[in-house]
């Protein structure tokens, strides 16, 4: 069971890093964090890319659990997930502390 939890969490972190590796997706996520829930139409207007590309990028963010989507009539609205980046932030905190310790240890080594 523990191994499965690590696999699920690892898969989520992998998907999140992959989703965040694209500048357009990061910009869309940042816009949603700053401005709140937005329609695909509104996001297309501010993104500088076509509606199909915006939808594709949002789909990847949704699969990575970084945004939520809701339908209202013919329009889909997306919002940033408040806790969506939690796994990435936790991973970075652990490895950031590890590397910080290693760099500190290296500074004490005389060459």
* Domain boundaries, given as residue ranges, for the chain: 2-107
> How many residues are present in the chain?
111
- Name the strand (E) or helix (H) holding 77: strand 75-80
Q: Could you confirm whether domain 2-107 is CATH 3.50.50.60?
A: no
pLDDT higher than threshold 90 for residue 86? no
> What is the predicted pLDDT for the residue at 106?
72
> Would the pLDDT of 87 be above 80?
no
| Residue 48 confidence (pLDDT) above 70 | yes
Q: For the chain, what percent of residues have pLDDT higher than 90?
A: 59
Report the predicted TM-score, pTM, of the whole model to 2 decimal places.
0.74
Percentage, residues of the chain above pLDDT 70: 87
């Amino acid at each position: 069971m523990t191994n499965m939890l690590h696999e699920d969490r690892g898969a989520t972190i992998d998907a999140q890093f992959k989703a965040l590796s694209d500048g357009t997706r990061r910009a869309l996520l940042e816009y949603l964090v700053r401005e709140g829930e937005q329609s695909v139409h509104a996001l297309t207007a501010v993104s500088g890319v076509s509606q199909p590309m915006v939808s594709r990028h949002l789909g990847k963010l949704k699969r990575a659990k970084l945004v939520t989507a809701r339908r209202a009539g013919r329009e889909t609205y997306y919002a940033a997930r408040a806790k969506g980046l939690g796994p990435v932030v936790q991973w970075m905190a652990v490895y950031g502390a590890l590397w910080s310790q290693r760099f500190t240890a290296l500074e004490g080594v005389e060459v």
